[in-house]
Amino acid sequence: MPEIINSALASATKRRNFNKYVNVSGYPIGVAYNATKDKYYARITPFGHDKQVILHYWDKAEEAFQEYMLFKESEIRILTVRYRDKLPEQLFDALIKYEVLFYSPHEER
């Protein structure tokens, strides 16, 4: 699998910031809270870029996550199509259907 796709997948499933005992952020992957604005926001680092981009501000963390999910799944699909000739058909199909989860599969619920 091309490294750029692997990186995009890894950032969609990574463990979030945890201290020794507690999930520090408490928010879904790709979501943060701005206390000054009293709003949640989605953030993403687009492929090929080093800088994180803040998307829109939302009243609910779930709304911000929906925006993150839309951007992240689109990014993975674009990369999948771009590298289609380097992917086995079964992997291509799985990546096209990939869904970003509300919480990382690495986290206990």
Span 21-66, pLDDT tens digits: 333 467 888 899 999 999 999 999 888 788 889 999 999 999 999 9
Q: Does some domain include residue 29? A: yes
Contact yes or no for 87/80 (Cβ under 8 A):
yes
Domain interval for residue 36:
3-15+25-96
Q: Does some domain include residue 36? A: yes
Report how many domains make up the chain.
1
The structure's pTM equals 0.77
Q: Does some domain include residue 8? A: yes
Quote the pLDDT of residue 49.
80
Q: What percent of the chain has pLDDT over 90?
A: 54
Bridge partner residues of 57 (DSSP)? 41
Rg (CA), the chain: 15
Residue 62 backbone phi and psi in degrees, to 5: -65, -35
- Statement: residue 103 has pLDDT above 90: no
Query: Tokens 């993150």, residue?
Result: 68
Which tokens is 42 given? 């989605």
